[in-house]
Structure 1
Amino acid sequence: MKFLVILALVAFVAARPEEEKPDYSRYENFNVDEVIDNDRFLAGYSNCFQSIGKCTPEASDFKKWIPDAVQSDCSGCSEHQKTLVARVIKAIMDKFPKDWVKLNEIYNAEGKYTEGFKLFVDKYAAVKQ
């Protein structure tokens, strides 16, 4: 009987599909300028990042990238994703400084990533699509 239980567990693990990674290729043609040049869109992204507003699918993805961007220069992101998230964050910093203070409290409460994140934003926000 123990053999059947073990065999069933092995079969279950073997049949389980591999964890699917999200397909971020759709962002290769994403026009971030449409977000950062439109205060209403940018405010929506900021509210999403703060969990005080609804998130579009794109804003949800960006929100997932922010902790990695803050803590490790977005080490899990492609170069293009780094540019996208940095440009959106830079626009929020410039256009909605009060929102940036709130976001920084959420994603960098202890302030230990401030200098590295500033360098990340300065480097990647300057990159144009």
Structure 2
Amino acid sequence: MSHSNAGDFRSQRRILQLKQIMKDIILISLVAIVAVAWARPGSTYTDKWDHINVDEILESKRLLRGYVDCLLDKSRCTPDGKELKETLPDALEHECSKCTEKQKTASDKVIRHLVNKHPDYWKELSAKYDPNNIYQERYKDKLDEVKGKE
């Protein structure tokens, strides 16, 4: 093999190596972008159920019991109940940071109602979702504030 052919071969080999390195960098970059996009939590929970009339549920023993039983795994859930059940642990853990304003208002109203009008439901739900009283302690001031205020 002549000297010039060897040089051409090395140049071509080097170009192929550089192309492979570039492909690898692009692939790694794409994987990183996808991983970041998937790991990044949404800014808020879905608002598709923000239209629910919370007052209607709280005023109806049947509807309220249905939601409570759903959350306690005592009965089947409506689509709204299922969404609530899936979202509740995250909302408790992260202080409703992804709740819409409407969801925060509704959640305050529901907590106030349960604490004051249905302490038995509140106790059952607390036993399931906060067996170690972590959230009861975290939200103690807020709970004390709503007691006796309906």
* TM bracket, shorter-chain basis: 0.5 to 0.7
Q: Does structure 1 residue 32 correspond to structure 2 residue 32?
A: no
Q: Does structure 1 residue 70 correspond to structure 2 residue 92?
A: yes
Q: Using structure 2 for the length normalisation, give the TM-score.
A: 0.59
Q: CA deviation at 1:41?
A: 0.3
Choose which of 101, 105, 127 in structure 2 pairs with 1:83.
105
Q: CA deviation at 1:108?
A: 0.8
Mark the runs of 5 or more structure 1 residues left unpaired by the alignment: 1-9
Give the distance between the partners of 2:55 and 2:122, measured in 1 at CA: 19
* Equivalent residue, structure 2, for 1:96: 118
Q: Is the 8 A contact 1:69 1:117 kept in 2?
A: no
How many residues of Structure 1 are paired with residues of Structure 2 in the alignment? 123
* Equivalent residue, structure 1, for 2:65: 43
1:2-41 paired onto structure 2 within 5 Å: 24-41=46-63
Residues 119 and 30 of structure 1: CA distance in aligned 2, closer, same or farther (over 3 Å): farther
Mark the runs of 5 or more structure 2 residues left unpaired by the alignment: 1-27
Q: Is the 8 A contact 1:65 1:85 kept in 2?
A: no
Give the distance between the partners of 1:23 and 1:109, measured in 2 at CA: 25
Give the distance between the partners of 1:30 and 1:65, measured in 2 at CA: 16
Residues 114 and 108 of structure 1: CA distance in aligned 2, closer, same or farther (over 3 Å): same
Q: Percent same amino acid among aligned pairs?
A: 31
Structure with more relative contact order (C-alpha pairs < 8 Å, separation 6 or more): 1
How big is the alpha-carbon RMSD for the aligned residues of Structure 1 and Structure 2?
3.6
Rg: which structure is higher?
A: 2
Q: Give deviations 1:19-47, integer Å, cap 9, x for gaps.
A: 7x798333332211111111110010100
